[in-house]
């Protein structure tokens, strides 16, 4: 098995080889907790989740770190506008973020470091960069990274440093800016009145960190100086990730990240998501409209991560249908009695699906082909089920495989239906009564099952038990 990913740094697909055989290190740029995360943010987190889950499926151990940016220009501005202490303000949105992750069934990172708890590490990096003559203090006391002192500046973002040279004498203090204004950027922002009570007294002066240094410090603190994979939305390539590389590599003199994996933009109803267009959705907005979190997850994961995703409300309905189809399949198969001989066709169908799924996922997480392999298997198994040609052992094999697939997809509803022998007998009796057109008896049995919390749904493949 060889995993291949598209590496933004080299702009090609490469075979993945972890630095440490025993554990893959992954860093994901987490949320800036100044508001509820929107659906575009969650695309990035679902993509990272699929990547991480598939690595685990492939037998790799993973250590995943996702930071929480709880101090930056935006968090300070918003908390002041609401007259709330910064920590109370960010706590609210951090909590909301964790709730949203859970709803979307995104596996927790191993560490969720907070920027405000990593200040000494940031100061240490900045001090070293100053000692090396790569960072310098401006007139206002802020400390800047000199991009001309780092020869590979611009490599990730595909910028030509020579083109930048003429403009490079300027500097930029804000955390976000366009490629055209690539300048020396702020590592440390000297205190000014507008920061209110947000500052740290440190060896490099009174102030607060720039956004970019936060991720370098948190990545190195928890994953070491060199990591396997750094993920994030494509909107973070410049300046954020470019600056992370510059700071980290100038500091360690080692390659910071082997694989940069970026997911493409998400549009809503064919347009860039914006509050003024009324197509700006948080997860909460969509759940309030009655959409299910599993369907939203499925919609976010079912488009290849390097393809732009057009997120539409109709798309959530279609995703919901797909999720239901998979869950109904599981439920149908679980309900099979299987008092027939082992069907040799089943292992062949399962093996084909497993190979198809893995071949697609190994190749830069080609999710559409992977899902197609699963749906094809479901179709073939459903035919055998309708012909009552699935044995008890066949059934177990099918369910086990679906469970494996779901360890990556995370969309199966885990209902612990406890189908006892008594329930099984009642279902059989009801089926018999129906076959004999004894509707009264069939209804009586249905009521008995209902008392036990079981609903029977009649499908092409026979009766299926569900939780009431
Ligand atoms: Zn970051």
Report pLDDT digits (tens) over 62-111.
999 999 999 999 999 999 999 999 999 999 999 999 999 999 999 999 99
Which three-class secondary structure string do you get for 306-355?
A: CCCEEECHHHHHHHHHHHHHHHHHHHHHHCCCCCCCCCCHHHHHHHHHHH
Q: Is 364 left (phi over 0), alpha (psi -120 to 50) or beta?
A: left
Question: Is 381 in contact with 398 (CB distance < 8 Å)?
Answer: yes
Rounded average pLDDT over 156-172:
72
Separation of CA 464 and ligand 1 centre (Å): 48
In 3D space, the residue among 243, 176, 239, 178 whose CA is nearest the CA of residue 213 turns out to be: 243
pLDDT at 341: 97
Separation of CA 241 and ligand 1 centre (Å): 7
pLDDT at 424: 82
Separation of CA 89 and ligand 1 centre (Å): 20
Which one has a higher pLDDT value, 459 or 335?
335
18 pLDDT above the threshold of 90: yes
pLDDT at 15: 98
- Alpha-carbon radius of gyration of the chain: 27
Separation of CA 54 and ligand 1 centre (Å): 23
pLDDT at 58: 96
Separation of CA 240 and ligand 1 centre (Å): 6
* φ/ψ of residue 271, rounded to 5: -130, 160
Separation of CA 119 and ligand 1 centre (Å): 15
What percent of the chain clears pLDDT 90, i.e. is strictly above it? 82
pLDDT at 282: 97
pLDDT in tens, 270-317: 999 888 888 899 999 999 999 999 999 999 999 999 999 999 999 999
Separation of CA 421 and ligand 1 centre (Å): 54
- pLDDT tier at 462, thresholds 50, 70, 90: confident
Question: Is 145 in contact with 184 (CB distance < 8 Å)?
Answer: yes
416 pLDDT above the threshold of 90: no
Pair type for strands 454-459 and 462-467: antiparallel
- Secondary structure letter of residue 454 according to DSSP: E
pLDDT in tens, 336-372: 989 999 999 999 999 999 999 999 999 999 999 999 9
Separation of CA 293 and ligand 1 centre (Å): 26
Separation of CA 405 and ligand 1 centre (Å): 30
Separation of CA 30 and ligand 1 centre (Å): 7
State pTM to two decimals: 0.89
In 3D space, the residue among 155, 307, 166 whose CA is nearest the CA of residue 245 turns out to be: 155
- pLDDT tier at 164, thresholds 50, 70, 90: low
237 pLDDT above the threshold of 90: yes
* φ/ψ of residue 200, rounded to 5: -125, 135
pLDDT at 417: 64
């Amino acid at each position: 098995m060889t995993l291949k990913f598209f590496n933004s740094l080299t702009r090609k697909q490469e075979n993945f080889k972890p630095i440490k055989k025993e554990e893959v290190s992954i860093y994901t740029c987490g949320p800036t907790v100044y508001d509820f995360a929107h659906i575009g943010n969650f695309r990035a987190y679902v993509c990272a989740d699929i990547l991480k889950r598939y690595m685990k499926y492939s037998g790799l151990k993973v250590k995943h770190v996702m930071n929480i940016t709880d101090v930056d220009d935006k968090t300070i501005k918003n908390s002041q506008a609401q007259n709330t202490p910064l920590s109370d303000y960010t706590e609210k949105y951090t909590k909301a973020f964790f709730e949203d992750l859970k709803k979307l069934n995104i596996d927790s990172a191993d560490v969720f470091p907070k920027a405000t708890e990593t200040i000494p590490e940031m100061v240490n990096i900045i001090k070293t960069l100053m000692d090396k003559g790569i960072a310098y203090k401006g007139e206002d006391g802020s400390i800047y990274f000199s991009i001309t002192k780092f020869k590979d500046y611009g490599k990730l973002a595909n910028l030509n440093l020579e083109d930048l040279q003429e403009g490079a004498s300027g500097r930029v203090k804000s955390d976000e800016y366009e490629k055209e204004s690539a300048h020396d950027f702020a590592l440390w922002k000297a205190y000014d009145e507008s920061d209110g009570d947000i500052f740290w007294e440190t060896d490099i002066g009174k102030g607060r960190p720039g956004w970019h240094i936060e991720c370098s410090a948190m990545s190195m603190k928890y994953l070491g100086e060199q990591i396997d994979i750094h993920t994030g939305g494509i909107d973070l390539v410049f300046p954020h990730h470019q600056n992370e590389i510059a700071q980290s590599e100038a500091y360690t003199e080692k390659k910071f990240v082997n694989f940069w994996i970026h997911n493409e933009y998400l549009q809503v109803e064919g347009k860039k998501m914006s509050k003024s267009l009324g197509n700006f959705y948080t997860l909460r907005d969509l759940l309030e409209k009655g959409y299910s979190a599993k369907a939203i997850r499925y919609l976010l994961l079912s488009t290849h991560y390097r393809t732009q995703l057009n997120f539409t409300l109709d798309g959530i309905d279609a995703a919901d249908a797909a999720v239901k189809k998979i869950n109904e399949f599981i439920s149908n198969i679980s309900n099979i009695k299987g008092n027939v001989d082992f069907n040799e066709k089943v292992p062949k169908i399962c093996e084909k699906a497993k190979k198809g799924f893995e071949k697609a996922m190994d190749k830069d997480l080609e999710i559409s082909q992977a899902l197609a392999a699963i749906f094809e298997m479901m179709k073939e198994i459903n035919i055998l089920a309708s012909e009552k040609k699935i044995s008890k052992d066949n059934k177990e094999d099918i369910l086990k495989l679906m469970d494996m697939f779901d360890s990556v997809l995370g969309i199966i509803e885990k209902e612990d239906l406890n189908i006892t022998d008594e329930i099984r007998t009642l279902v059989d009796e009801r089926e018999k009564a129906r076959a004999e057109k004894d509707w009264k008896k069939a209804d009586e049995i249905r009521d008995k099952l209902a008392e036990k919390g079981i609903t029977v749904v009649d499908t092409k493949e026979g009766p299926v038990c569900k939780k009431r």
